[in-house]
Amino acid sequence: MPPSFTRLESFSSQFIPARHVDIWFPESYTSNPQRRYPVVYMHDGQNLFDPQLAYGGVDWGVVPAMQKLAAAGEAREAIIVGVWNSDRRFHEYQPWRPFIETPRGQAVYAKHQKEMGEIFSDDYLKFLVEELKPTIDLQYRTLPGPGDTVVMGSSMGGLISLYAICEYPQVFGGAGCVSTHWPVVRQLMINYMKLHLPDPQTHKIYFDFGTEGLDAQYETYQLKADKVMIKKKYKADIHWMTRKFEGATHHESAWRERVHIPLVFLLGK
- The residue-averaged pLDDT of 198-217 equals 98
**What are the residue ranges spanned by the domains of the chain?**
5-267
SS3 199: coil
Q: In 10 A of CB 227, how many CB atoms?
A: 13
Strand segments (E) across the chain = 5-11, 19-24, 39-42, 79-83, 149-154, 174-178, 204-210, 240-245
- The residue-averaged pLDDT of 71-85 equals 97
* Residue among 41, 253, 53, 231 nearest 127 (CA): 41
- The residue-averaged pLDDT of 216-229 equals 98
Burial of 208 (0-12, 13-18, 19+ CB in 10 A): buried
Quick one: pLDDT at residue 110?
86
What confidence category does residue 229 fall into, taking pLDDT thresholds of 50, 70 and 90?
very high
Cα angle value 239/73/242 (rounded, 5°): 30
Give CATH for domain 5-267: 3.40.50.1820
Burial of 211 (0-12, 13-18, 19+ CB in 10 A): middle
For the chain, percent of residues with pLDDT exceeding 70: 99
pLDDT at 3 over 90: no
- The residue-averaged pLDDT of 69-83 equals 97
Q: Name the average pLDDT for the chain.
A: 96
Q: What are 103-113's pLDDT values in tens digits?
A: 988 988 888 78
What confidence category does residue 246 fall into, taking pLDDT thresholds of 50, 70 and 90?
very high
pLDDT at 269 over 80: no
pLDDT at 52 over 60: yes
pLDDT at 228 over 90: yes
* Residue among 201, 202, 73 nearest 147 (CA): 202
pLDDT at 4 over 70: yes
CB of 52 closer than 8 Å to CB of 13: no
What confidence category does residue 55 fall into, taking pLDDT thresholds of 50, 70 and 90?
confident
What confidence category does residue 116 fall into, taking pLDDT thresholds of 50, 70 and 90?
confident
pLDDT at 162 over 60: yes
pLDDT at 147 over 70: yes
Quick one: pLDDT at residue 71?
95
- The residue-averaged pLDDT of 134-151 equals 98
Distance CA 137, CA 141 (A): 7
* Residue among 265, 263, 182, 179 nearest 228 (CA): 182
Distance CA 128, CA 105 (A): 25
pLDDT at 136 over 60: yes
Q: What are phi and psi of 166, to 5 degrees?
A: -75, -40
Quick one: pLDDT at residue 54?
93
User: Length of the chain in residues, anyone?
Assistant: 269
pLDDT at 125 over 90: yes
- Terminal-to-terminal C-alpha distance of the chain: 30
Q: What are phi and psi of 239, to 5 degrees?
A: -100, -20
